[in-house]
Amino acid sequence: MRGDEPGEEAIRSLREQVKRHDIRYIRLITVSLQGQPKAMLIPEYELEEALRYGKGFDGSSLGFIGIERSDLIAHPDPASFLIPMWEAPGVAVMFCYIHNPDGSPFEGDPRGLLKAAVEELERGGYGFYTGPEVEFFYVTEKNGSLSPLGSGGYFDLPPLDPTEEMKMETMMCLEAAGFQLDKAHHEAAPGQQEINFRFSDALKTADNIILYKLAVKTIAQRYGNQATFMPKPFWGINGNGCHLHQSLVDLETGRNLFHDPNSETGLAESALHYIGGLLSHAEALSLVVAPTVNSYKRLIPHHEAPVYICWDYGNRSSIVRIPRYPGNSRYTRIEYRHPDPSCNPYLASIAILRAGMDGIRRRIDPGEPISRNVYQIGDEELERMGIQRLPRHLGEAIEAFSSDKIISEALGECSKLLVKIKEREFEEYLSAVGGSWEENLKKITSWELERYLTRC
């Protein structure tokens, strides 16, 4: 039997909300290993039974498990109940945890794994807070040709950015869903946008990333357009990042453990060691935070995506950046610029946390910050400085992940399946393009667009 069944008070409260808002259907969301939301609709009169006993589904059809033991149970999380404005009237959504038929947590559930990782950290008195910058493109297709929607650049406004109405509706829907927005603006590339929302605990942030992407895509579709979080839909301009800002807090006092008021830089020693952990595991992290073939066409020099494994204050050419903004101690944080929006936010959070905590545990020295534009440093000098490069393609990322026990073991049973899926993905790409990685690096192939444009 499960040990985390919702209490009678939680069930009663949800019944009241459903009745008060005239909810007819509830969309129960699970998140696949590859970070894609999957869902079933249940009528409102089935909600109480779903809360008590869950709803069964075929785990093999979602790639979670083999067909020989494919029965899995989705248990709605009462804390995630939401009535989004981007859904049809009368529809609410809830995230689920996945269990085996015997009631035990399913070892391949990304959301459940993050919950367990956060709870383990909390038992030590620490909280893990994250805040993402998730970029996307509005795109349009005419005569079979895909192009960015609009010609704007960084911070441009109408008429160069023709998406203002669509973006504003998205912002209002997100706010109605409880998002606290920080800012929204046109990004550097034509058609590229960013709507930033406030940091929260890691599990809530991962849920919000899934909801954010659903809102952006659904509302774009209503306007007859398309939004994509594909890492690099167009060659020659910036790709989409999912920079993850993070901090550790003392749960008893609320103190930001990355801030030291007596330090010249404001960074605590624990933050430096955390950075050391991120840098030392960056190659292995790549498979989790940049998990697609297309991800590695974003990770090239000169387009504000990280390539070299180093850190600095305010330097957007480094993989780890410490934002330099005035403010109180709660804003001291580490920005990890490696991830892109195709990643599974639950698995990415687990892997990043494990890397950083390994740095704290082993007191890993991150080395000196690199204050230069790293893109402009030659290969020979980088080698002398001891600065390594991220994996150049998905195949190298698989090798790095497989050889790093800290990161691969952090994902438990997901690790083997993730490697298997990604090996097949890379093989399919090379077979489809009929050549080597290098020969096809400087173009976005039809194989990538077909596979990632709507899926990411």
Q: Determine how β-strand 91-99 pairs with β-strand 71-76.
A: antiparallel
Average pLDDT over residues 18-39: 96
1 found inside a domain: no
Catalytic residues: 58, 133, 135, 187, 194, 243, 316, 335, 337
Do 139 and 93 share a domain, yes or no? no
Q: Is the pLDDT of residue 33 over 80?
A: yes
Per-residue confidence band for 14, with pLDDT thresholds at 50, 70 and 90:
very high
Provide the pLDDT for residue 8: 86
pTM of this structure? 0.96
Provide the pLDDT for residue 329: 66
Instruction: Please provide the average confidence, as pLDDT, over all residues in the chain.
Output: 94
Do 302 and 363 share a domain, yes or no? yes
400 found inside a domain: yes
Provide the pLDDT for residue 327: 61
Helix (H, G, I), strand (E, B) or coil at 242: strand
110 found inside a domain: no
**Contact assessment for residue 277 and residue 358, using Cβ atoms and an 8 Å cutoff:** yes
The predicted-structure confidence for 312-339, as pLDDT tens digits, reads as follows 998 899 999 999 876 666 689 999 999 9
Q: Is the pLDDT of residue 213 over 80?
A: yes
Q: Is the pLDDT of residue 64 over 90?
A: no
Sign of CA dihedral 64, 66, 67, 70: negative
Compute the 3-state secondary structure of the chain and give helix, strand, coil in percent, each to the nearest 5. 40, 20, 40
Do 319 and 397 share a domain, yes or no? yes
Neighbours of 68 (CB within 10 A): 6
Domain around 324: 116-452
Q: Give the count of domains, the chain.
A: 2
Q: Determine how β-strand 91-99 pairs with β-strand 25-31.
A: parallel
Do 135 and 248 share a domain, yes or no? yes
365 found inside a domain: yes
Do 53 and 145 share a domain, yes or no? no
Q: How far apart are CA 394 and CA 441, in angstroms?
A: 12
Max mean pLDDT range (120-129, 144-153, 258-267): 120-129
Do 56 and 150 share a domain, yes or no? no
Domain holding 226: CATH number?
A: 3.30.590.10
What percentage of the chain carries pLDDT values higher than 70? 98
Do 88 and 188 share a domain, yes or no? no
What does the radius of gyration of the chain's CA atoms come to, in whole angstroms? 22
**Contact assessment for residue 338 and residue 282, using Cβ atoms and an 8 Å cutoff:** yes
